[in-house]
Structure 1
Amino acid sequence: MAMLENYVALFTPMVITVIVAVVPSFSCSSLQYWVGDSLWTIPPFPDYYSNWSSSHFFKIGDSLVFDFETGRYNVIQVTRQEYESCTSWSPIKIINGGPGIIPLTERGVFYFICNFSNYCSLGQKIDITVHDCRESYPPAPAPSPVSPPSPAPAVVAPSLTPYNNGSGQPSVKVPSPAPPPIGNGDALVDNAPAPENSAAIMSGGRLSFVSSIGSIVSGWRFGILVYAGMIFCL
């Protein structure tokens, strides 16, 4: 019996130390969120509060602050059906004075609207998803792997199959040389007519022209002599 008491006395401080070390790990740090990071009012576009809620990670122990002007707005906690239809026939909680603070004490999805006029239809409503304090913010999805570009197809040179002429050796055809021109090139050059000498042609023309003028002058002289002789005889 005394030995058992000694064991209990020995291990009790160790057990207490373990409990003290483990309990803080399950505690949650409470945060306070101002809904919309601004006033609780008619939003600039219908999805404003939904986008704000989806960008935050709420845990048990956190609280929401609805900052609004009393008498112009209110906060009503409703069911999902009334949240979607913007009605408040069976409200869960009503806050008419601002700012209103709502502690988040349990996990789940909670719905809040303003039932003044048609403000809910204009987007003055919000749904809040509350997680357990031990849950962590979900990591961002990993980017999808990018497949490497397909390699370009290799260019394969066409295979040349030699023609077998039956002798076991490939036969290679050598192109025949082009036929020579018909006739002897020297003869073609010799038979070509020689170009005429333009100087000789011009000299011959000049001589013919001078001879013609001389003949005309001689004829005139002869005529004059005949005419003079006739006059002398008379």
Structure 2
Amino acid sequence: MIIVTGVCNGEIYKVGESSGWTNIAPLHYKSWAASKNFHVGDILLFEYNKQFHNVVRVTHKSFNACNATSPYATWATGNDSFTITRSGHFYFICSFPGHCHSGQRVDIRVPRDHKYGPTPGPLPLSPSPQSPPKSGPYPRSPSARGPSSVPPVQSPTSGCSSLPSWKLWVFVLAVALSASF
């Protein structure tokens, strides 16, 4: 069972790579995101100075207007992760004054993965506004339990595809039941 459940986790992408999530250097998050192939199960890692930045997930309209007044979620620890749970667009901005307008915003586009069939309809928005992500920040690495133990991530490291989690659990249950007979 350990082998089956540990096989498929998404890629980890450090937003902004070595520069991280900032407005100081002239970063082009649009071209950075366009150069990646994001998939369901991938993890976005936002690293930044929490005294000067935050991460706010917003709607497309709010993204275009740099408006953080009605966010889906806000993170402010300086070392935050977001796991992609469906296809579509995910919009992130920094809500500190002037940061979004100066380019600290990113549109993460996740195409449908036709390999495993159609993507289900929209999922409930989670985490709730003003709350941290519910999953641990570094699910790919069993030894990484907190920010200090995580090595910098420059690019994705795994070629794993993502099976829908319910299929994985059905498989694990079937194996467990067959072993008991």
Does the TM-score normalized on the shorter chain lie above 0.5? yes
Residues 20-46 of structure 1, C-alpha deviations (whole Å, 9 max, x = no match): xxxx9xx96510000011211015336
Distance change (3 Å), C-alpha of 1:132 and 1:28: farther
Q: Decide which structure has the larger Cα Rg and report it.
A: 1
- Which structure ranks higher in relative contact order (CA pairs < 8 Å, sequence separation ≥ 6)? 2
Distance change (3 Å), C-alpha of 1:98 and 1:44: closer
Tell me the distance in 1 between the aligned counterparts of 2:39 and 2:24. 25
Report the counterpart of residue 30 of structure 1 in structure 2.
10
Distance change (3 Å), C-alpha of 1:103 and 1:82: same
TM-score w.r.t. length of structure 2: 0.56
Tell me the distance in 2 between the aligned counterparts of 1:61 and 1:54. 18
Tell me the distance in 2 between the aligned counterparts of 1:28 and 1:129. 21
Question: How much does 1:94 deviate?
Answer: 0.4
- Are residues 1:44 and 2:21 paired? no
- Are residues 1:96 and 2:76 paired? yes
Tell me the distance in 2 between the aligned counterparts of 1:44 and 1:72. 14
Which amino acid is the alignment partner of residue 65 of structure 1? L
- Are residues 1:69 and 2:49 paired? yes
Secondary structure of 1:59's partner?
A: coil
* 1:122 equivalent among 89, 99, 102: 102
Tell me the distance in 1 between the aligned counterparts of 2:104 and 2:92. 9
Report the counterpart of residue 83 of structure 1 in structure 2.
63
**Structure 2 unaligned blocks of 5 or more:** 116-181
Q: How does 1:192-203 map to 2 (within 5 A)?
A: none
Residues 164-198 of structure 1, C-alpha deviations (whole Å, 9 max, x = no match): xxxxxxxxxxxxxxxxxxxxxxxxxxxxxxxxxxx
Which amino acid is the alignment partner of residue 57 of structure 1? N
Q: How does 1:1-234 map to 2 (within 5 A)?
A: 29-38=9-18, 39-42=20-23, 44-45=25-26, 48-134=28-114
TM-score w.r.t. length of structure 1: 0.44
Tell me which stretches of 4 or more aligned residues in structure 1 moved more than 6 Å: none
| Coordinate RMSD, CA, aligned | 2.2
Tell me the distance in 2 between the aligned counterparts of 1:28 and 1:76. 28
Question: How much does 1:88 deviate?
Answer: 1.0
Which amino acid is the alignment partner of residue 123 of structure 1? G
Query: How many residues align structurally?
Result: 110
Distance change (3 Å), C-alpha of 1:43 and 1:110: farther
Aligned residues with identical type, % of pairs: 34
Secondary structure of 2:63's partner?
A: helix
Tell me the distance in 2 between the aligned counterparts of 1:28 and 1:60. 11
Contact map agreement 1:68 1:98 (CA 8 A) in 2? yes
Secondary structure of 1:94's partner?
A: strand
Contact map agreement 1:28 1:134 (CA 8 A) in 2? no
**Structure 1 unaligned blocks of 5 or more:** 1-23, 136-234
Tell me the distance in 1 between the aligned counterparts of 2:32 and 2:48. 17
Tell me the distance in 2 between the aligned counterparts of 1:56 and 1:101. 17
